[in-house]
Amino acid sequence: MAIQYGHTKLREFSNKMVTTKRLLVSLRMANFLHYKWIEEKIEGIQDELPAIKNRVGSQAEIVARKMAAETKSFVDYNRWKPSQFPYIEGITNRITELGIYYKRNVDESLEPLRATLTEVRRQLDGLDYYKNQFAEFYEHNQLSVGELPVCALPDVKVTGSDFLKNDKACGTLFVTNKRFIFVAEIGRVRRKMETIFDFPLVYLKSIEEDGRFRKRLVLKLKQGDVKISCTDQTKKVFPDYVEIARKFDRYIQTDMQRVRKLEQNEISISDVRLKIEGMVYSLLSTNQRPEEPVSRSRDPFQAPSWTQPTPGSYDIPIGSGYSSPDSFRRELEREVGRREPAGRYEPSYRTNASLDTLKRDAESIHGAIKETVHLLRDGRLVAEDFIRRYKDLMRNSYYTRREIERQSRDTREKLW
Protein backbone atom coordinates (compact mmCIF):
# COMPACT_ATOMS: atom_id res chain seq x y z
CA MET A 1 0.00 0.00 0.00
CA ALA A 2 1.17 3.54 -0.77
CA ILE A 3 1.25 4.71 2.86
CA GLN A 4 3.90 2.05 3.60
CA TYR A 5 6.24 3.98 1.29
CA GLY A 6 7.08 6.41 4.09
CA HIS A 7 8.20 3.70 6.50
CA THR A 8 10.15 1.93 3.75
CA LYS A 9 12.11 5.06 2.85
CA LEU A 10 12.74 5.90 6.50
CA ARG A 11 14.06 2.38 7.07
CA GLU A 12 16.36 2.61 4.03
CA PHE A 13 17.69 5.97 5.19
CA SER A 14 18.17 4.68 8.74
CA ASN A 15 20.14 1.66 7.48
CA LYS A 16 22.41 3.91 5.39
CA MET A 17 22.87 6.14 8.42
CA VAL A 18 23.90 3.20 10.60
CA THR A 19 26.43 1.88 8.05
CA THR A 20 27.86 5.38 7.59
CA LYS A 21 28.40 5.82 11.34
CA ARG A 22 30.02 2.40 11.60
CA LEU A 23 32.39 3.27 8.77
CA LEU A 24 33.23 6.58 10.46
CA VAL A 25 34.05 4.85 13.75
CA SER A 26 36.26 2.27 12.03
CA LEU A 27 38.18 5.04 10.23
CA ARG A 28 38.64 7.05 13.41
CA MET A 29 39.92 3.96 15.20
CA ALA A 30 42.43 3.51 12.35
CA ASN A 31 43.74 7.08 12.99
CA PHE A 32 42.15 8.62 9.90
CA LEU A 33 41.11 11.70 11.83
CA HIS A 34 40.83 14.37 9.12
CA TYR A 35 37.60 16.09 8.03
CA LYS A 36 36.36 16.87 11.54
CA TRP A 37 33.20 18.45 10.08
CA ILE A 38 31.89 14.98 9.22
CA GLU A 39 30.73 14.53 12.80
CA GLU A 40 28.95 17.89 12.67
CA LYS A 41 27.03 16.89 9.55
CA ILE A 42 25.96 13.55 11.02
CA GLU A 43 24.84 15.25 14.22
CA GLY A 44 22.81 17.70 12.13
CA ILE A 45 21.12 14.77 10.35
CA GLN A 46 20.30 13.12 13.68
CA ASP A 47 18.81 16.36 15.00
CA GLU A 48 16.51 16.77 11.98
CA LEU A 49 15.51 13.12 11.58
CA PRO A 50 12.92 13.01 14.46
CA ALA A 51 11.02 15.93 12.94
CA ILE A 52 11.09 14.27 9.51
CA LYS A 53 9.90 11.01 11.07
CA ASN A 54 6.94 12.73 12.75
CA ARG A 55 6.09 14.55 9.53
CA VAL A 56 6.03 11.32 7.54
CA GLY A 57 3.83 9.65 10.16
CA SER A 58 1.40 12.59 10.25
CA GLN A 59 1.13 12.69 6.47
CA ALA A 60 0.48 8.94 6.42
CA GLU A 61 -2.33 9.38 8.94
CA ILE A 62 -3.93 12.14 6.87
CA VAL A 63 -3.74 10.05 3.69
CA ALA A 64 -5.09 6.98 5.51
CA ARG A 65 -8.12 8.95 6.71
CA LYS A 66 -8.81 10.17 3.19
CA MET A 67 -8.51 6.62 1.86
CA ALA A 68 -10.85 5.35 4.57
CA ALA A 69 -13.42 7.99 3.61
CA GLU A 70 -13.13 7.09 -0.06
CA THR A 71 -13.38 3.31 0.45
CA LYS A 72 -16.19 3.30 3.00
CA SER A 73 -18.52 0.34 2.33
CA PHE A 74 -16.31 -0.77 -0.59
CA VAL A 75 -13.43 -2.63 1.11
CA ASP A 76 -15.13 -6.03 0.91
CA TYR A 77 -14.97 -6.85 -2.80
CA ASN A 78 -17.34 -9.79 -2.31
CA ARG A 79 -20.15 -7.26 -1.87
CA TRP A 80 -19.45 -5.34 -5.07
CA LYS A 81 -22.10 -5.14 -7.74
CA PRO A 82 -21.59 -4.68 -11.49
CA SER A 83 -23.46 -1.41 -11.40
CA GLN A 84 -20.91 -0.01 -8.95
CA PHE A 85 -17.85 -0.62 -11.14
CA PRO A 86 -17.70 2.92 -12.66
CA TYR A 87 -17.91 4.41 -9.19
CA ILE A 88 -15.26 1.99 -7.89
CA GLU A 89 -12.97 2.95 -10.77
CA GLY A 90 -13.21 6.58 -9.72
CA ILE A 91 -12.36 5.60 -6.13
CA THR A 92 -9.32 3.70 -7.37
CA ASN A 93 -8.08 6.71 -9.34
CA ARG A 94 -8.47 9.02 -6.34
CA ILE A 95 -6.62 6.58 -4.07
CA THR A 96 -3.81 6.34 -6.63
CA GLU A 97 -3.52 10.13 -6.69
CA LEU A 98 -3.37 10.21 -2.89
CA GLY A 99 -0.55 7.64 -2.94
CA ILE A 100 1.45 9.62 -5.52
CA TYR A 101 1.00 12.81 -3.52
CA TYR A 102 2.15 11.07 -0.33
CA LYS A 103 5.23 9.55 -1.99
CA ARG A 104 6.22 12.93 -3.38
CA ASN A 105 5.95 14.54 0.06
CA VAL A 106 8.06 11.78 1.62
CA ASP A 107 10.79 12.20 -1.01
CA GLU A 108 10.80 15.98 -0.60
CA SER A 109 11.08 15.64 3.18
CA LEU A 110 14.04 13.26 3.01
CA GLU A 111 15.87 14.88 0.07
CA PRO A 112 18.00 17.41 2.09
CA LEU A 113 19.11 14.69 4.52
CA ARG A 114 19.87 12.32 1.66
CA ALA A 115 22.07 14.90 -0.06
CA THR A 116 24.03 15.56 3.14
CA LEU A 117 24.43 11.85 3.88
CA THR A 118 25.56 11.15 0.30
CA GLU A 119 28.27 13.80 0.58
CA VAL A 120 29.44 12.41 3.93
CA ARG A 121 29.49 8.86 2.56
CA ARG A 122 31.53 9.95 -0.47
CA GLN A 123 34.21 11.45 1.78
CA LEU A 124 34.24 8.40 4.03
CA ASP A 125 34.55 6.05 1.05
CA GLY A 126 37.63 7.98 -0.05
CA LEU A 127 39.17 7.67 3.40
CA ASP A 128 38.30 3.98 3.49
CA TYR A 129 40.11 3.51 0.18
CA TYR A 130 43.23 5.17 1.61
CA LYS A 131 42.93 3.01 4.70
CA ASN A 132 43.08 -0.14 2.57
CA GLN A 133 46.05 1.22 0.65
CA PHE A 134 47.93 1.91 3.87
CA ALA A 135 47.83 -1.80 4.69
CA GLU A 136 50.74 -2.18 2.25
CA PHE A 137 52.59 0.66 3.95
CA TYR A 138 52.48 -1.02 7.36
CA GLU A 139 54.19 -4.09 5.91
CA HIS A 140 57.37 -2.11 5.20
CA ASN A 141 57.22 1.01 7.39
CA GLN A 142 55.86 2.30 10.68
CA LEU A 143 54.35 5.60 11.70
CA SER A 144 56.22 7.60 14.26
CA VAL A 145 54.73 9.05 17.44
CA GLY A 146 52.11 11.68 16.59
CA GLU A 147 52.21 10.79 12.89
CA LEU A 148 48.84 10.27 11.20
CA PRO A 149 47.98 9.02 7.68
CA VAL A 150 46.56 11.47 5.16
CA CYS A 151 46.29 9.73 1.78
CA ALA A 152 47.76 7.00 -0.45
CA LEU A 153 48.12 7.59 -4.20
CA PRO A 154 48.68 4.41 -6.26
CA ASP A 155 50.07 3.99 -9.80
CA VAL A 156 52.78 6.62 -9.36
CA LYS A 157 55.93 6.20 -11.44
CA VAL A 158 59.26 7.96 -10.93
CA THR A 159 60.45 9.08 -14.36
CA GLY A 160 63.62 10.93 -13.39
CA SER A 161 65.66 12.23 -10.47
CA ASP A 162 68.92 14.02 -9.75
CA PHE A 163 69.84 11.93 -6.74
CA LEU A 164 67.69 8.75 -6.50
CA LYS A 165 69.17 5.35 -7.23
CA ASN A 166 65.95 3.74 -8.53
CA ASP A 167 64.66 6.54 -10.73
CA LYS A 168 62.33 4.34 -12.84
CA ALA A 169 60.26 2.64 -10.13
CA CYS A 170 56.46 2.37 -10.06
CA GLY A 171 54.50 2.13 -6.81
CA THR A 172 52.36 4.00 -4.26
CA LEU A 173 53.01 7.44 -2.80
CA PHE A 174 51.96 7.69 0.87
CA VAL A 175 51.41 11.08 2.52
CA THR A 176 51.21 11.64 6.28
CA ASN A 177 51.05 14.79 8.38
CA LYS A 178 54.86 14.72 8.72
CA ARG A 179 56.37 13.15 5.60
CA PHE A 180 55.72 11.51 2.23
CA ILE A 181 57.01 8.04 1.38
CA PHE A 182 57.23 6.27 -1.95
CA VAL A 183 57.06 2.45 -1.86
CA ALA A 184 57.61 0.55 -5.13
CA GLU A 185 58.46 -2.89 -6.48
CA ILE A 186 62.03 -3.26 -7.74
CA GLY A 187 64.19 -6.03 -9.14
CA ARG A 188 64.11 -7.85 -12.46
CA VAL A 189 64.44 -11.46 -11.33
CA ARG A 190 63.54 -11.39 -7.66
CA ARG A 191 61.07 -8.56 -7.34
CA LYS A 192 60.39 -7.10 -3.93
CA MET A 193 58.78 -4.05 -2.35
CA GLU A 194 61.13 -1.38 -1.11
CA THR A 195 60.99 2.22 0.07
CA ILE A 196 62.39 4.39 -2.74
CA PHE A 197 62.39 7.69 -0.87
CA ASP A 198 61.21 9.00 2.48
CA PHE A 199 61.32 12.78 3.02
CA PRO A 200 59.82 15.11 5.63
CA LEU A 201 57.21 17.55 4.37
CA VAL A 202 59.40 20.48 5.29
CA TYR A 203 61.87 19.34 2.58
CA LEU A 204 59.24 19.85 -0.12
CA LYS A 205 59.58 23.38 -1.52
CA SER A 206 56.98 23.30 -4.31
CA ILE A 207 55.13 21.15 -6.84
CA GLU A 208 55.35 22.05 -10.52
CA GLU A 209 54.27 20.58 -13.87
CA ASP A 210 56.70 19.73 -16.64
CA GLY A 211 56.25 18.57 -20.23
CA ARG A 212 54.40 19.91 -23.24
CA PHE A 213 52.34 16.85 -24.25
CA ARG A 214 52.72 14.40 -21.36
CA LYS A 215 52.47 16.43 -18.21
CA ARG A 216 54.54 15.28 -15.26
CA LEU A 217 54.75 16.51 -11.70
CA VAL A 218 58.09 17.81 -10.45
CA LEU A 219 58.70 17.69 -6.71
CA LYS A 220 61.13 20.45 -5.75
CA LEU A 221 63.13 19.17 -2.76
CA LYS A 222 66.19 20.41 -0.93
CA GLN A 223 68.24 17.50 -2.34
CA GLY A 224 67.04 18.06 -5.91
CA ASP A 225 64.11 17.38 -8.22
CA VAL A 226 61.99 14.24 -8.52
CA LYS A 227 59.82 13.82 -11.62
CA ILE A 228 56.78 11.55 -11.36
CA SER A 229 54.03 10.56 -13.78
CA CYS A 230 50.54 9.71 -12.51
CA THR A 231 46.88 9.84 -13.42
CA ASP A 232 45.01 13.09 -13.97
CA GLN A 233 43.07 12.56 -10.77
CA THR A 234 46.31 12.21 -8.76
CA LYS A 235 47.67 15.38 -10.38
CA LYS A 236 44.54 17.18 -9.29
CA VAL A 237 44.35 16.05 -5.66
CA PHE A 238 48.03 15.66 -4.71
CA PRO A 239 48.70 19.40 -4.10
CA ASP A 240 45.50 19.63 -2.03
CA TYR A 241 46.51 16.70 0.17
CA VAL A 242 49.96 18.17 0.67
CA GLU A 243 48.32 21.39 1.86
CA ILE A 244 46.05 19.39 4.20
CA ALA A 245 49.06 17.52 5.60
CA ARG A 246 50.90 20.76 6.29
CA LYS A 247 47.91 22.29 8.10
CA PHE A 248 46.58 19.07 9.57
CA ASP A 249 45.65 20.66 12.89
CA ARG A 250 42.77 22.48 11.18
CA TYR A 251 41.24 19.25 9.90
CA ILE A 252 41.92 16.75 12.66
CA GLN A 253 39.20 15.36 14.94
CA THR A 254 40.48 15.13 18.50
CA ASP A 255 37.25 14.40 20.43
CA MET A 256 36.87 10.63 20.23
CA GLN A 257 34.08 10.67 22.81
CA ARG A 258 32.02 12.60 20.31
CA VAL A 259 32.50 9.82 17.76
CA ARG A 260 31.42 7.12 20.24
CA LYS A 261 28.30 9.11 21.15
CA LEU A 262 27.36 9.26 17.48
CA GLU A 263 27.54 5.49 17.25
CA GLN A 264 25.44 4.99 20.37
CA ASN A 265 22.80 7.57 19.46
CA GLU A 266 20.36 5.65 17.28
CA ILE A 267 16.93 6.91 16.25
CA SER A 268 14.36 4.12 16.10
CA ILE A 269 11.64 4.18 13.46
CA SER A 270 9.71 1.25 14.88
CA ASP A 271 6.99 3.55 16.22
CA VAL A 272 6.33 4.92 12.74
CA ARG A 273 6.32 1.41 11.29
CA LEU A 274 3.82 0.15 13.87
CA LYS A 275 1.65 3.22 13.37
CA ILE A 276 1.56 2.82 9.58
CA GLU A 277 0.98 -0.93 9.78
CA GLY A 278 -1.95 -0.29 12.11
CA MET A 279 -3.40 2.13 9.55
CA VAL A 280 -3.00 -0.43 6.77
CA TYR A 281 -4.66 -3.14 8.84
CA SER A 282 -7.59 -0.89 9.73
CA LEU A 283 -8.05 0.07 6.07
CA LEU A 284 -8.04 -3.53 4.87
CA SER A 285 -10.07 -4.94 7.75
CA THR A 286 -13.81 -5.47 7.26
CA ASN A 287 -14.67 -6.21 10.90
CA GLN A 288 -16.05 -2.78 11.71
CA ARG A 289 -17.87 -2.20 8.46
CA PRO A 290 -21.59 -1.60 9.02
CA GLU A 291 -23.65 -4.55 7.90
CA GLU A 292 -26.76 -3.98 5.85
CA PRO A 293 -29.83 -5.45 7.59
CA VAL A 294 -31.44 -8.34 5.70
CA SER A 295 -35.02 -9.37 6.42
CA ARG A 296 -35.69 -13.00 7.31
CA SER A 297 -38.57 -13.49 4.88
CA ARG A 298 -39.72 -11.44 1.96
CA ASP A 299 -42.22 -12.08 -0.77
CA PRO A 300 -40.46 -11.44 -4.09
CA PHE A 301 -43.81 -10.51 -5.72
CA GLN A 302 -44.77 -7.94 -3.10
CA ALA A 303 -43.73 -4.39 -3.87
CA PRO A 304 -41.81 -2.77 -1.01
CA SER A 305 -43.23 0.22 0.75
CA TRP A 306 -41.93 3.58 -0.30
CA THR A 307 -39.65 5.35 2.16
CA GLN A 308 -38.37 8.89 2.15
CA PRO A 309 -34.66 8.91 1.14
CA THR A 310 -32.26 10.41 3.64
CA PRO A 311 -30.70 13.72 2.55
CA GLY A 312 -27.16 12.62 3.43
CA SER A 313 -27.13 9.50 1.30
CA TYR A 314 -25.28 9.46 -1.99
CA ASP A 315 -26.39 7.63 -5.09
CA ILE A 316 -24.33 5.38 -7.30
CA PRO A 317 -24.63 5.88 -11.08
CA ILE A 318 -26.50 2.98 -12.68
CA GLY A 319 -27.21 3.15 -16.39
CA SER A 320 -28.19 6.57 -17.69
CA GLY A 321 -29.73 7.76 -14.42
CA TYR A 322 -29.14 7.41 -10.68
CA SER A 323 -30.59 4.97 -8.16
CA SER A 324 -29.66 3.86 -4.67
CA PRO A 325 -28.13 0.42 -3.97
CA ASP A 326 -31.25 -0.64 -1.99
CA SER A 327 -33.67 0.15 -4.78
CA PHE A 328 -31.43 -1.58 -7.32
CA ARG A 329 -31.32 -4.72 -5.16
CA ARG A 330 -35.09 -4.72 -4.68
CA GLU A 331 -35.69 -4.29 -8.40
CA LEU A 332 -33.28 -7.12 -9.15
CA GLU A 333 -35.03 -9.42 -6.65
CA ARG A 334 -38.41 -8.66 -8.21
CA GLU A 335 -37.09 -9.41 -11.68
CA VAL A 336 -35.55 -12.68 -10.55
CA GLY A 337 -38.73 -13.62 -8.66
CA ARG A 338 -40.94 -13.10 -11.71
CA ARG A 339 -38.83 -15.39 -13.85
CA GLU A 340 -38.62 -18.20 -11.29
CA PRO A 341 -41.52 -20.61 -10.62
CA ALA A 342 -43.91 -19.50 -7.93
CA GLY A 343 -43.70 -22.75 -5.99
CA ARG A 344 -39.98 -22.65 -5.33
CA TYR A 345 -38.59 -23.51 -1.91
CA GLU A 346 -37.96 -20.53 0.40
CA PRO A 347 -35.69 -21.26 3.35
CA SER A 348 -36.66 -19.80 6.68
CA TYR A 349 -33.21 -18.34 7.24
CA ARG A 350 -30.45 -16.60 5.32
CA THR A 351 -26.69 -16.75 5.56
CA ASN A 352 -25.28 -14.43 8.20
CA ALA A 353 -23.14 -11.90 6.28
CA SER A 354 -21.27 -10.90 9.44
CA LEU A 355 -20.26 -14.54 10.05
CA ASP A 356 -18.93 -14.85 6.50
CA THR A 357 -16.93 -11.68 6.96
CA LEU A 358 -15.39 -12.98 10.19
CA LYS A 359 -14.40 -16.23 8.49
CA ARG A 360 -12.65 -14.31 5.71
CA ASP A 361 -10.85 -12.19 8.32
CA ALA A 362 -9.74 -15.36 10.12
CA GLU A 363 -8.23 -16.69 6.89
CA SER A 364 -6.47 -13.36 6.26
CA ILE A 365 -5.00 -13.32 9.77
CA HIS A 366 -3.84 -16.93 9.36
CA GLY A 367 -2.06 -15.97 6.12
CA ALA A 368 -0.47 -12.94 7.80
CA ILE A 369 0.88 -15.19 10.59
CA LYS A 370 2.49 -17.50 8.01
CA GLU A 371 3.99 -14.53 6.17
CA THR A 372 5.41 -13.12 9.43
CA VAL A 373 7.12 -16.43 10.25
CA HIS A 374 8.48 -16.58 6.69
CA LEU A 375 9.96 -13.06 6.99
CA LEU A 376 11.67 -14.00 10.26
CA ARG A 377 13.21 -17.13 8.75
CA ASP A 378 14.49 -15.15 5.75
CA GLY A 379 16.11 -12.58 8.03
CA ARG A 380 13.95 -9.72 6.75
CA LEU A 381 12.35 -9.19 10.16
CA VAL A 382 14.18 -8.62 13.43
CA ALA A 383 13.16 -10.51 16.56
CA GLU A 384 11.65 -7.46 18.28
CA ASP A 385 9.38 -6.62 15.35
CA PHE A 386 8.45 -10.29 14.93
CA ILE A 387 7.34 -10.59 18.55
CA ARG A 388 5.17 -7.47 18.33
CA ARG A 389 3.57 -8.42 15.03
CA TYR A 390 3.07 -12.08 15.98
CA LYS A 391 1.51 -11.12 19.31
CA ASP A 392 -0.95 -8.72 17.67
CA LEU A 393 -1.91 -11.24 15.01
CA MET A 394 -2.48 -14.04 17.54
CA ARG A 395 -4.62 -11.72 19.68
CA ASN A 396 -6.73 -10.76 16.67
CA SER A 397 -7.01 -14.42 15.67
CA TYR A 398 -8.22 -15.38 19.15
CA TYR A 399 -10.90 -12.68 19.27
CA THR A 400 -12.03 -13.49 15.73
CA ARG A 401 -12.43 -17.21 16.54
CA ARG A 402 -14.40 -16.38 19.67
CA GLU A 403 -16.73 -14.13 17.72
CA ILE A 404 -17.19 -16.82 15.04
CA GLU A 405 -18.10 -19.37 17.69
CA ARG A 406 -20.55 -16.98 19.35
CA GLN A 407 -22.34 -16.08 16.13
CA SER A 408 -22.43 -19.73 15.02
CA ARG A 409 -23.99 -20.68 18.35
CA ASP A 410 -26.60 -17.92 18.06
CA THR A 411 -27.45 -19.03 14.53
CA ARG A 412 -27.96 -22.65 15.63
CA GLU A 413 -30.21 -21.58 18.51
CA LYS A 414 -32.39 -19.53 16.19
CA LEU A 415 -32.77 -22.47 13.81
CA TRP A 416 -33.81 -24.83 16.59
Domain spans of the chain, in order of start = 1-142, 149-251
Kindly report the three-state secondary structure assignment for every residue of 223-276. Answer: CCEEEEECCHHHHHHHHHHHHHHHCHHHCCCCCHHHHHHHHHCCCCCHHHHHHH
Q: Report CA 221 to chain centroid distance, whole Å.
A: 52
The residue with greater pLDDT, 240 or 271, is 240
Residue 234 in this model has a pLDDT that exceeds 90? no
Model confidence, pTM: 0.62
CATH number given to 149-251: 2.30.29.30
pLDDT for res 75 = 62
A 10 A CB-CB count for 382 gives 11
Q: Closest by alpha carbon to 291, among 365, 366, 367, 351? A: 351
Mean pLDDT computed over every residue of the chain: 78
Q: Is the pLDDT of residue 51 over 70?
A: yes
412: helix, coil or strand? helix
User: With 60 as the cut, is the pLDDT of residue 338 above it?
Assistant: no
Q: Tell which wins on pLDDT, 111 or 188.
A: 111
